[in-house]
Chains A and B, each alone.
Chain A
Amino acid sequence: MTKNAPIKPHSASHHNAAPLSLISADSDKKATIGLDYMTYEQLEDFGDELNVVRQRVLDDLGQKDADYIRRVIKVQRASEVLGRIGIFMPFFWPAFVAGVLFLGLSKILDNMEIGHNVMHGQYDWMNDPMIDASRFEWDNIAPSQDWKHGHNYIHHTYTNIHGMDRDIGYNMFRIDEDQPWYASHRFNLPLAFILMLVFEWGIMYHGVELDQYLQGKISKADFQGRRKRAMKKIRKQVFKDYIAWPVLGLSLVPFFGWWAPVAILGANIVANIIRNVWSFIIIFCGHFPAEVQTFAEEDAQNETRGQWYLRQLLGSANITGHKPFHVLTGNLSYQIEHHLFPDIPARRYPEVAKDVHLLVEKYGLEYNTGRLSRQMFSVIRQLGKLGHKPSDPYKIGNSPESKALRRAKREEAARRQEEARAPQLTS
């Protein structure tokens, strides 16, 4: 049974526009998100007002946005070339160190302001095959196709809904009060530290969706496709950074000794770690500070556009900073604006933020923003605090109470299914 979704335009009428899985199969009950702040009518208005903002920016896109992304790409390519040259001079340490930093910078720009945003389709309107979401591949272990599915679709549609957004704690951490606690969460902080260093591998592994496969949520063919694509990308990235470039460094051995290629290998590793640490910090600060809200599936079912917007707003956190900082974060320091309008070019988020501020004031909403240090501290404290075993047995994943609750839910679902089937059997 498919019902037309209650999310109204963006889209034209008669259009089945909402994520299907968010429609409750057995209830027409309206979603309850946002009722603490406003009425259903106000939620509608709120949605309409944000739609207007979105359309205004979309109508204004043009040469300056194209010039901007091309300029960023130019800086990224230049810094990559400088970086590659720099690390080829391990005999002259200032150039070598600068090379490592340039290479790290290039990978950060590539992944954040270019890759992430281009793959959201923010620049698809340019119709340039080199800046096109469906064709773009980034300098990262994670293959773009699976990242786009997990990020653009799952994470951006079901943002912060427990059981649907796989990015809440990445199946590794307990970062929210409403996540069940398991013993592994005792190691929240040390695990987070390790993940920070190898973050690109974590993103890749997340996109393979082994857990989803083992739970029977994706098909074997789907899983094997993901694994195959991941292996292919790993081969390419590893070959480039850790084999091909260091092997070229062998040409330095007769002049400077055996350590030259090793230094080049090390430089590549460090550059990747620089990018890993940076992107990890920005991404964790975008969703995991303490005040960020999460939602239950039941509350989000049958939501309206206004409620969808509100969920994005309450489920994200911004980081304040100066302009170069925002560029280095891929403007994900404007995480809230990014989640409201994931498909408009990120350089527009500061401008959009002004409109969002007005709406936040008008409706008395919370707008989570703060310095990088504040947000980071909040995330660290959250990881530490929620790693402790909670006293409430219902918050412990494998306590008898939780197990009984899950069993009851399963039985309830089965009963509903039975009920839904019953009339068909009798008729």
Chain B
Amino acid sequence: MGIIRKALASRPIASLTSPYTVDHYLEQIHPMLAAENVRARVVEVIHETGDASTVVLRPNGAWTGFKPGQHVQFGIEVEGKRRIRCFSVSTSSAARNGTFSVSVKAHPDGYVSQFLHRELTPKTLVYLSQAEGEFVLPKVVPDNLLLMSGGSGITPVMSMLRTLRDTKHRGQITFLHYARSRDDEMFTAELDELAANANVTVERIYTRAPAKGAQLKGRFVIDHLKHLGIDPTDTLTYVCGPAGLIETVRDTYEEIGAADQLRMEYFKVPSVNLDAADATGTLTFDDAKLDADNSGATILEQAEAVGLNPEFGCRMGVCNTCVVKKNHGAVRHIISNEISANTDETIKICVNVPIGDVNVAL
């Protein structure tokens, strides 16, 4: 299939199908048929906890695989509208059964994560990107490794852990996880199993409902590492979780001069503030590498205020000249008052105001 796929995606074919790609035609035959567009079918939805689920996906041949720790853009269509979110892959990259999974905690305001948890059914078509992200293990994994996560930040770390297990990694691995309670924790049974391996230490700290006799309690402090016998300065460390955890870990590592050992991944959950009068956060113009405090004006006006000259036309949401890609963040349409928080969607900047942190490709 590799050669055929390569041939279909080649320039001579593209010049015959111009201005379209060969995928524009292939998708009419079958939605999974594509040279370059990654599509997948849902195989199974496994409910992990009360509000978290794992979605097992079978991608088409355009999928080039992932490195543990990476995420994918996951798009589903509901009511004719594609909703896209980034989710981390949670399975082992050593698996050879042609499937992989993403694990997702339902976010109270997250339309897609709620949909995944409650309504997603097997066989649903999913629009994917290739795996993305720099939060990955090095080619040669060092002998001492610390994996740290908070809440649903466990997913990329779980993928690393599973891969190391499946590739029979011999080095010492410590996995330190923070969850609210044991009920709130994903992959509990598997973590128990992993803990039985001689070279793996699994330590879970339940911040709200500590386990009986637990020696470590509360949120992350450096003492937790000391107790586990870890010296941050010579231990490659991966941390993924909510902003609070990451900030604390980063500050701690900087303080003791171990910042070069730390790899971090934020969860890009947009901070939606439904109170429209509340103009907070920072508006980031990604291409121009400029930041501005959100003044509450439209993105177009704010861009002009910092000296950018984005293309615009009617300035009233009609002509579509000003559309740009919004990388992430929530915006409110000043006409419809609709709030949209999709990552990687195009918006008319003349009629959208940022709510909280927004990043646009300007």
Residues of A near any B CB (own CB < 8 A)? 7, 9-12, 15-20, 55, 58, 61-67, 73-74, 77-78, 81, 119-121, 124-128, 130, 132-134, 137-139, 148-149, 152-154, 156-157, 233, 236-237, 239-240, 244-245, 248, 342-343
Q: A19-B315, A139-B20 are in contact. List 8 more A-B contacts (CB 8 A).
A: A17-B315, A18-B315, A77-B25, A121-B348, A126-B80, A134-B324, A248-B16, A342-B318
What's the dominant secondary structure at chain A's contact region?
A: helix
Q: Does B215 contact A (CB under 8 A)?
A: no
Taking a contact as CB atoms under 8 Å apart, the answer to whether A134 and B81 are in contact is no
Which of B's residues lie within 8 Å of A, judged by CB?
12, 15-20, 24-25, 28, 75, 77, 79-84, 298, 301, 311, 313-321, 323-325, 334-337, 342, 345-346, 348, 351
**Interface contact B315-A20, CB-CB below 8 Å:** yes
Contact (Cβ within 8 A) B346 A134: yes
Per a CB cutoff under 8 Å, which of B313, B320, B335, B346 touches A11?
B335
Cα A66 to Cα B325 with chains together (Å): 21
Which 9 A/B pairs are nearest by Cβ-Cβ distance?
A66-B80, A153-B313, A121-B320, A137-B19, A12-B334, A127-B82, A153-B319, A152-B319, A63-B80
Q: Give 8 pairs: A residue, B residue, CB < 8 Å, sorted on A.
A: A62-B79, A63-B80, A66-B81, A77-B25, A139-B20, A152-B313, A152-B321, A154-B313
Contacts of A237 in B (CB 8 A): 18-19
Number of A-B pairs, beta carbon distance below 8 Å: 132
Taking the closest CB of chain B, its distance from the CB of A154, in whole angstroms, is 8
User: Which residues of B lie under 8 Å from residue A17 when comparing CB positions?
Assistant: 315-316
Q: Nearest chain-B residue to A78 (Cβ)?
A: B28
Q: Which residues of B contact A124 (CB under 8 A)?
A: 320, 323, 346
The residue of chain B having its C-beta at the shortest distance from the C-beta of A75 within the complex is B28
A157 and B335: CB pair below 8 A?
Answer: no
Contacts of A233 in B (CB 8 A): 19
Closest residue on chain A to residue B347 by CB atoms: A124
Inter-subunit contact B314/A126 (CB<8 Å): no
Q: Which residue of A lies closest to B26 (CB)?
A: A77
Contact B80 A149 (CB under 8 A): no
Residue of B nearest to A8 (CB): B316
Nearest CB on A from B286, distance (A): 16
Partner of B318, one of A16, A63, A130, A157: A157
Q: Is the CB–CB distance between B316 and A10 below 8 Å?
A: yes
Q: Is the CB of A148 within 8 A of B321?
A: yes
The verdict on A153 contacting B82 (CB below 8 Å), with A121-B323, A134-B323 known, is no
Q: How far is the CB of A320 from chain B (nearest CB, A)?
A: 26
Specify which of A7, A63, A239 is in contact with B316 (CB 8 Å cutoff): A7
- A12 touching B335 in the complex, CB below 8 Å, given contacts A121-B323, A156-B319, A237-B18: yes
Measured in the bound complex, the distance between the Cα atoms of B18 and A244 in whole Å is 11
- Report if A10-B16 is in contact (Cβ < 8 Å); known contacts: A19-B315, A20-B315, A77-B28: no
Q: How far is the CB of A235 from chain B (nearest CB, A)?
A: 10
Q: Which of B15, B318, B334 has the most CB of A within 10 A?
A: B318
Q: Which residues of A contact B336 (CB under 8 A)?
A: 55, 58
B24 near A62 with CB under 8 A, answer: no
Kindly provide the distance from the CB of A9 to the nearest chain B CB, expressed in whole angstroms: 7
User: Is the Cβ of B24 less than 8 Å from the Cβ of A153?
Assistant: no
* Contact for A15 among B20, B298, B318, CB less than 8 A: B298
B80 with A61: CB separation less than 8 A: yes
How many Å lie between the Cα of A121 and that of B322 in the bound state? Answer: 11
Give the distance in Å from the alpha carbon of A63 to the alpha carbon of B77 in the complex: 9
